[in-house]
Structure formats: structure tokens, C-alpha cells
Structure 1
Amino acid sequence: MKGATILETKKAYTSTKLYNDVDTLVKVFPFIEKETIGESVLGKPIIELSIGKGPKRVHMNGSFHANEWITSAIMMKWLEEYVRGLTTQDELFQLYTQTTLSFVPMVNPDGVDLVLNGLPENDEARAKALMINEGSLDFSQWKANICGIDLNNQYPANWEIEKERKIPKSPAPRDYPGDAPLTEPEAITMANLLKKGNFDRVLAFHTQGEEIYWGYMNKEPLEAEVIVKEFEKLSGYKAIQHIDSHAGFRDWFVNEWGRPGFTIELGNGVNPLPLTQFEEIYQKSKGIFFSGLYM
């Protein structure tokens, strides 16, 4: 099995594909711990994988946004490379003893499946999604969860600012922050994970732009700049300290805990990024994954 790839991630990465790949990895590498930490609106599991026994606690996630599903596929390829290396490479095994990785590859399974598979079977959800999308069956630009709430605008870090200035004032394919912070089960699940996780840093993977956002309201520690410089060096991505954005998962982490938090925009182009970019994105960004563990 040495050198062989178990997962086929260079394809449309639905929630079903993710769950099958997770089960395959857990079976082959039983030191991976799997937990269902919550459910989506339509009852699909939100899976956390935990790897490592170290005191440093690192969290990573992907597919907060539905049409950014390629992040889940790329993350799972990173993960396979990592867990395979743990069994053969001493330097990687040191990471296992130094770091505990919390890994949530798909925060928004309903939204991902809407983009890739079209309307769900649930009658109420079908009707609502179709209405929000103004009758169109093209969901390629959908970022929200199945209820039309942007999950990365759901966190209590100056949420009121985003609520006031966002153009959608009702559920929409993108950008609507909801009627209040933390109304959606997916956002609540991730908030609960942060509250109990005591993470030293978080990395949230999105697309696109080849940029890394790392500051928030000057709450970020000095350590964050040291880490992001390593990310920048290994990936060629551009580190940007401040952007005019609030209410995001990373924003809340930095604001609430004062620890390093990073939003990494994988790839370049127009979302959803095509699978033809998969290998280039993977090669450029995998250094961020590994340095996120060792820094």
C-alpha cells in the first residue's frame, strides 16, 4: 500500500463522497478519531476528524460556502498524505505527538449537495431553495446553507455591522447573515466546537484569490504574523492583515480568544473553481496545511 493513493478526490465532492472517504480513511488508519459533532438543516452529519496526541491544538475547516466545495476535496487529500506519512516518516510522527488536529472538511453539506446535485428530495427545502434562487435550477453560485443563510456571516463579531450593510435583506444564495447571530445548526455546531476545543489556532479554507487573511480589529497576537509569513513563503499566497469584514468564523475566534486565526483563499478564478485547478491548488497550498501543524 506504500505510495498508493486510497482516495479519489479529483471529482465532484458531494457529502456522500466525503462520508465514504472518511469511512475509508478511518478503516485504514484507525488512529483517526471520527465524531459527528452536529447536523445540517437536512440532518446530514457534520464530521470532525481528530488526529494526534499533542498539547498544541489546531483546528481546520472547509466548505463553509457551498460553491467552494473543492476545499473539502483538497483538504481530504492533505489529510491522506499526512496520515500515510505518520506511518512511514519519523518527522511527521513528531507532529502527531506535538499536535492534535481537529479537522472538519465540510461545514455545509446541504449547500454543497445543492450546488453539485441540484434540489434536495425534501419538499419544503426544495420549494424554499427554488424560491430563493428565483426559480432557476442553476445553483452554481450558491454559497449559503439550504435556508439561504451565509454561514460565514453568522458569528457574533460585529455581526450588526454586516447585517446593516449586506444587500440581501432576506434569505439569498449568498451574503445574507440571518436574522440574528448563530441561528443555523451548522454555524452553531462550529461555535460549540470552538467553545469546547481550546484551540491554539484555526485555519478556515475558502476559495478564491490566493490570499491569507490573518488580522481582526488588532486582536490578533504577534505569533499570528510569524505563522502567516511561513504560510506565505511556502505557498506564494499573499498575506493580508486587515480587511473590512466582520461576523466570520475566524473573525469571532480572533476577537473572542485573541489567538491566531487564518482565512485562506485557495486558488484563483471564479467560484466554483474547476477541478482542472485541483493539482495546482493542492501543490501550492499543502505547505500551509503542514506548517499549520508544526509552527
Structure 2
Amino acid sequence: MEIYLTENCSINTLANHFQLPVELILQSNPLVNSLNLEEGSTLHIPGWRIDGTDSFESIRFDYPYDLKKAKLMETPLIHPKVEYDFDALQRDLQLLEGNFPFIRKKEIGKSVLGLPIYELIIGNGPKKVHMNGAFHANEWITTAVMMNWLEDYLMMIVKGDVFNGREVRKLYEEVTLSFVPMVNPDGVNLVLCPSRIPEDVLQSVIVLNDDKEDFSQWKANIRGVDLNNQYPAFWEIEKERKIPKSPAPRDFPGNAPLTEPEAMAMAILVEESNFDCVAAFHTQGEEIYWGYLNYEPKRAAKMVNEFKRLSGYKPVRNIDSHAGFRDWFVYKNRKPGFTVELGRGVNPLPLSQYDEIYEKSHGIFWSLLYM
């Protein structure tokens, strides 16, 4: 909600009226450089709306005369239980940015077809946690579920709620959350809406797909490279033993590590950010992979047991797999990294599983913040 000051006012007075921390108001208004505001100023108030209006309606709100018209948002802004393509992500990001302007959005790279790969940053704390989804195209439901978690978190920050005994505003102060909800936007669009793929590219992809126009089993990026087999953690082993020796709907690790722009964008993000832990969300199996050749630190075991307690998912320490994003992070940094397989069944998981996936897994999101 945007307000117009009809008289001089202090940030502290606004914070008291809207029951928000001063820092949250300042972070929602980065151009404000004073604790004292002059008549005629406009400011964003996160998580509040004018009673009886939609969250994005542009209606003048005169402060303090219109205070009785203001109310905290109570209903969700986004409705992610849909076939969640890149357009759905763009739409929901606009809603969340508009209503929670303390979010910082960065473009960390572009896909092969030039779609932006977004990182959302929430908080300024010393602990740095990274989460990502949709490395694999037909696992797009991970993005939808993650965006649901994100809106929950943002709203609870504004309300000053508590989760599992933890004050959410304190988590916001202590943690910097890096959130990349869709690593593979071209692939997701190919699976869900192939008509949006340029015709010449689509025809070449059909050839890779055994001349089939059903892309529901496609995992790779638009060039037929599996982005989660692209990282320099014993990549050579995967290159040698993977059956596809050329671009394919899944499993081809490329001709060298980090050849694909999406994989490179994620690698650069890790190199520049010094994350304390990472979690990559995939489907399916209700399992959590947490070890890698004994390079993982001891505290990873404690963390994964908390994930198990909250979700019922099965921890799996080691599997015979290399070259994944998480593998590389653990191998390179000796820090906790997790691959979380949401849901059960055959990919792509149906939306009929959405509610169950969300209920079982949302505790993993929260515990990544407070562990």
C-alpha cells in the first residue's frame, strides 16, 4: 500500500501506527534517507491494504486521515496451484514485489532463449541460506510450492508471527535468504506451453524428443543438457556412464562442465555469495539427499533429522551420483547442502498432489532458516 503524507511525520510514528519495525519500512522505501518525513512524501507500507480494495489498486491514501481504512492483508495474493510456467512466475513476482517491497530482486543470468533467471533476496542477516527449484523442466511444481512458502514467510514477517517457537521477524533479521524459484525457465515453458517456444527451436527440440510433441518427460534445458549434471564434482564419471552421449530430453551432462548459461548463472551466484547452506528442490520420492563422499560437515546430520521430523521425508546420506548442483556445493565448500525430492509418483507430479506436498514440506523451508 502506498500512502501520501498530509503532514510532517516520523518513521517511528508510522511504525507504531502500522505495527511494523522501523527497519522494515526503511527497507521498503530505499530512497528515504531520513527518519523525519515531510508533508507530500509518499511511502510504501508492506503487507497493508486499503479496506475493500485489491492489493494493487492505485487509490490515494492520505495519512493520517485515512488510517481507519487500512488493514493487514489476510488472504493470499498468489494462487500457485496451477501449471506454473514462466508467465505465472512473472505475475506472482510482480504481486509480491508490489506488496512486500522489502524484497530485492536480481537477474542473475539468462536462459538459452533469453528469459531472466531471478534471485529474490529477503533479509540482511549474517546467515546466508540459498534455495532453488525447477532445475528440471518437468519438475515445475517445485517452483509453485516454493512461491507458496515465500508468500507465507513474507506475510508472517509483516504480522510478527511465530513458527515452531521462532519469531519470524527475528529470522528476517538474522538470515539473508537467497531464493531462485525457477532455474530452467525455457524447459518449464517447453513442458507446459511449447507454443511459446520459437518455431525453429521447437522443431529442433522435437527431433531430440524422438519426433514427439509431448514434452511431459523433458527434464533438460532447451539445448538438451541436464542442468543438474553440469557441475565440476567428478563430472567426468557422469559423462562416461550416462547413456545419452548427445543432447537429449534428460541425463546428458553436456560436453564439459558449466557449458549452459543457466548452470553457469547458479555457479557464479554461489561463488559470489558465500552461502552457509543450500537446498535444491526436485521431485519425486519424499527423500532428502544430504551427504556427498563424506565432504559434508557434521551439522548436516542434525539439520536433516530436523527436516525428517517436520516432513516425514527419508534422509539418504549417499547415492551413486555426481555432478549435481548440491554435490558441487558440498564438495567445494564443505558446507551443508540438500537435495529435497518433493512428493511421490511419476514426474511430472499432478496438481492433485499439491496440497499434500505443501503440507509435508513447508517445515523444511522454515527449518533451513532457523537451523
TM-score by shorter chain over 0.5: yes
User: 2: distance between equivalents of 1:288 and 1:87?
Assistant: 21
Counterparts of 2:330 and 2:200, CA distance in 1: 37
Letter in 2 for 1:171: P
1:222 and 1:251 mapped to 2: Cα distance? 16
TM-score, length-scaled by structure 1: 0.99
Q: Which amino acid aligns with 1:73?
A: A
Partner Cα distance (1:126, 1:74) in 2 = 28
Unaligned runs of 5+ in 2: 1-71, 162-166
Amino acid at match of 2:115: K
What CA distance in whole angstroms lies between the structure 1 residues aligned with 2:241 and 2:135?
Answer: 21
Matches within 5 A, 1:191-270: 191-270=267-346
Measured after TM superposition, the shift of residue 119 of structure 1 is: 4.7
Q: Helix, strand or coil for the counterpart of 1:161?
A: helix
Match of 1:19 among 90, 98, 106: 90
Deviation at 1:3, TM superposition (A): 2.4
Q: Is 1:88 paired with 2:159?
A: yes
- Runs of 4+ in structure 1 deviating by more than 3 angstroms, as ranges, are none
Could you say which structure has the larger radius of gyration? 2
Task: State the superposition RMSD in angstroms.
Answer: 0.8
CA contact (8 A) 2:194 2:202 kept: no
AA of the residue aligned to 1:242: N
SS in 2 for 1:244: coil
SS in 1 for 2:178: strand
Distance 2:238 2:180 in 1: 25
RCO (CA 8 Å, sep 6+): is it higher in 1 or 2? 1
Cα deviation, residue 127, structure 1 = 2.1
Equivalent residues, number: 295
Within the candidate set 178, 181, 202, 1:105 is matched to: 181
Pair 1:153-2:229 in alignment? yes
* Cα distance in 1 between the residues matched to 2:148 and 2:124: 21
Which residue of the other structure, out of 196, 207, 210, is the alignment partner of 1:134? 210
Q: C-alpha distance in 2, partners of 1:163/1:267?
A: 28
Deviation at 1:121, TM superposition (A): 3.8
2:17 aligned partner: none
Report sequence identity in percent.
Answer: 62
In structure 1, stretches of 5+ residues that fail to align are none
Candidates 354, 361, 365, aligned match of 1:278 = 354
Q: In the alignment, what sits opposite 1:35?
A: 106
Q: Which amino acid aligns with 1:201?
A: C
